[in-house]
Structure 1
Amino acid sequence: MSGPILTRREGAILEVTIDRPKANAIDLATSRLMGEIFRGFRDDPDLRVAIVTGSGPKFFCAGWDLKAAAAGDAVDGDYGVGGFGGMQELRDLNKPIIAAVNGICCGGGFEIALSADLILAAEHATFALPEIRSGTVADAASIKLPKRIPYHIAMEMLLTGRWLDAAEAHRWGFINEILPAGNLMARAWDLARLLESGPPLVYAAIKEVVREAEGRDFQTVMNKVTRRQLQTVDTLYASEDQLEGARAFAEKRDPVWKGR
């Protein structure tokens, strides 16, 4: 696919690249396109893992396109099926997503990275929530970030807009690995291939249980799991893959996952 979003498919892996020079900022049309792409990823049984990254060496994504906003794109406009960036509000997105942060990651771009399950960053990557300086609120980050890192660090980022380098981001725990820029995508693909070989029904159950656990007490969520009240858990426990896992262990061989 050509245009503001590039896609590459290899096996069960989909790579999604934001390609809007110079800053890979996202306008309404691009957000809607990303929603269609991630909905397609969610609904395609032959796809198991996605990687999201930015084009070029400088920007992962600068977030909301302020130039488009100044030209008439409403900040509260139609972002598309998955909300801003296509995935952070997409229901039942139960497949693993890796963010490969190749440079500046700020505002809505940072929120897109936070929507991924694993975040890899190039050594020169930087992170910020500068919305405070443009008179708006980093809404998704205000919800997510204080749950991911120490409250006072999250509030400092939200209230001051200060920048963090990759080393500090790793220290606070919101990125998994720091890599030389030249190794970033190779590592992302290695990790994607590892996940591609894993049990997709288990991944789906993990993601739904984690979502259910946000803001709920332990026992309430455990009761939902044990009573098979979550769709992905019920599907997993009744699946061929559940039996295959036990058989492979007993037979001392690698399991063959079918996703059913």
Structure 2
Amino acid sequence: MTKYIKLEQQGPVTVLTLNRPECLNAWHAPMRAEILDAVRSAGADPKVGALVMTGAGDRAFCAGQDLNEAREFDASRAQSWIGEWETYYDVLRSFYKPLVMALNGTAAGSAFQVSLLGDIRIGHEGVRMGQPEINAGIASVTGPWIMREMLGMSRTIELTLSGRMMEAAECHAIGLIHRLVPREQVLPAALETARMLAAKPPVAMRLNKARLREMTEASFRESIRAAERIHHESYESGEPARMMQAFFTEREQRRADANPHAK
């Protein structure tokens, strides 16, 4: 049984739903562990031809890292944390069956990166995607790696330093979202695409995906080593902790203002 994700089999397609809608499906270590187990199982199961990943609710695919987990990190923990992300990304990159992302809302930070590790992305007009780590005082390393691979250096610089979120139309125009459909059609369209891909010759699919992974393997590993070094320095400075504390303080104040009679 899983606690933080839901799994459903739709013919040859496994649907993996991130299931923490109360926090916009933000992930923490236990949730990522469940995702890893599910992806590995899908890869080993001959009855599974493709995987669709989506989020519970209608607000977010995933808000990225759960800041409640990261707010107490020190330099040493931040550095080891990158090793956990290396494993997570490596398992997704090594999944040699089709991986379709059904984007049902915001995909921010690490969730933006994970969505880009999928093969096909389907979204709706309300989707927002981006790399806002700088706004929380967190240095961004793996995000720029994958953005540069897909978008080139100029746009990578702008998105990394501004931390802005892109609307669906922009994401579609620059090729990050492959299909825009009405909100209620996102999952059906993703299933349709996943079934189509699952029907392709499996050896050719595996070899194509293996080669695509090889093409970015060296730069991926370099970005992870850089992330270990940079996040150690970032968290050692105390800036991420200060920025995250300011975020939580502001959020609590907004809640208090919205409900002044709460005790």
Q: State if a TM-score over 0.5 links the two structures.
A: yes
Conserved in 1, the CA contact under 8 Å of 2:98 and 2:198?
A: no
Does 1:92 find its partner at 2:94?
A: yes
Unaligned runs of 5+ in 1: 217-260
Conserved in 2, the CA contact under 8 Å of 1:101 and 1:125?
A: yes
Mean alpha-carbon deviation: is it higher for 109-118 or for 135-144?
135-144
> What is the one-letter code of the residue matched to 1:122?
H
2:135 aligned counterpart, secondary structure: helix
Does 1:56 find its partner at 2:45?
A: no
Who is 1:186 aligned against? 188
> What is the one-letter code of the residue matched to 1:27?
H
Who is 1:160 aligned against? 162
Who is 2:47 aligned against? 46
2:101 aligned counterpart, secondary structure: strand
**Structure 1 or 2: larger helix share?**
2
Who is 1:135 aligned against? 137
Does 1:171 find its partner at 2:173?
A: yes
C-alpha distance in structure 2 between counterparts of 1:19 and 1:151, whole Å: 34
Who is 1:34 aligned against? 35
> What is the one-letter code of the residue matched to 2:174?
W
Who is 2:7 aligned against? 7
1:57 aligned counterpart, secondary structure: coil
C-alpha distance in structure 2 between counterparts of 1:122 and 1:153, whole Å: 22
C-alpha distance in structure 1 between counterparts of 2:35 and 2:84, whole Å: 9
Unaligned runs of 5+ in 2: 219-263
Conserved in 1, the CA contact under 8 Å of 2:2 and 2:34?
A: no
Who is 1:123 aligned against? 125
Conserved in 2, the CA contact under 8 Å of 1:32 and 1:81?
A: no
RMSD: 2.2
C-alpha distance in structure 2 between counterparts of 1:17 and 1:188, whole Å: 13
Q: TM-score, normalization: structure 2?
A: 0.75
Number of aligned positions between the proteins: 214
1:205 aligned counterpart, secondary structure: helix
Higher RCO (CA 8 Å, separation ≥ 6 residues): 2
Residue 143 of structure 1: CA displacement?
A: 1.1
Residue 70 of structure 1: CA displacement?
A: 2.6
Conserved in 1, the CA contact under 8 Å of 2:94 and 2:213?
A: no
Identity %: 27
Mean alpha-carbon deviation: is it higher for 37-46 or for 123-132?
37-46
Conserved in 1, the CA contact under 8 Å of 2:52 and 2:101?
A: yes
Question: CA 1:198–1:129 in structure 2 vs 1: closer, same or farther (change >3 Å)?
Answer: same
Q: TM-score, normalization: structure 1?
A: 0.76
Residue 15 of structure 1: CA displacement?
A: 0.5
1:214 aligned counterpart, secondary structure: helix
